[in-house]
Amino acid sequence: MTQNTQRHPFLDDLNEDVTLVSSVLRGELTGRDQVLKVVKAAGGLYRSQTPTFLGHADDRMFFQYEADLGNGLTASGMVSIIRDDNGGVSRLHIAFSPLGAVLSIAEGLKATVSDDLDADLFL
């Protein structure tokens, strides 16, 4: 996966009650449709995405990548994907760094999805 037009393979496996925790959110977000909306909107903020690590440990998958935000900032992203016994994704934890990139992504998400989600959810 090198471009934001490609799909994260775990998105098709999200449970209806999946929970998202992220460094760009003030709290948890629950529900397949809402989580998809945020993940897709975040991916839309990337000019490009370059994977740097993919691995598994028990029921978790870890995906690390670098994203060019197109505004002079680069974000390092780490996604922890937790699957239930049926293989569905029950929890996502998506962390970004450095802080400037975190704030840029949060601002972009707030501008993009605040009509559908509470703007106070984002930093």
Domain boundaries, the chain: 13-115
Are 1 and 11 contacting, i.e. CB atoms less than 8 angstroms apart?
no
CA–CA distance, 58 with 61 (Å, rounded to integer):
8
Its pTM stands at 0.87
Q: Write the DSSP string, the chain.
A: --STTSPPGGGGGEEEEEEEEETTBSS-EESHHHHHHHHHHHHHT-SEEEEEEEEEETTEEEEEEEEE-SSS-EEEEEEEEEE-TTS-EEEEEEEEESHHHHHHHHHHHHHHHTTTS-GGGB-
CATH 3.10.450.50 for the 13-115 domain, yes or no = yes
pLDDT tens for the chain, residues 1 to 123:
344 445 566 888 999 999 999 999 999 999 999 999 999 999 999 999 999 999 999 889 999 999 999 999 999 999 999 999 999 999 999 999 999 999 999 999 999 998 888 888 888
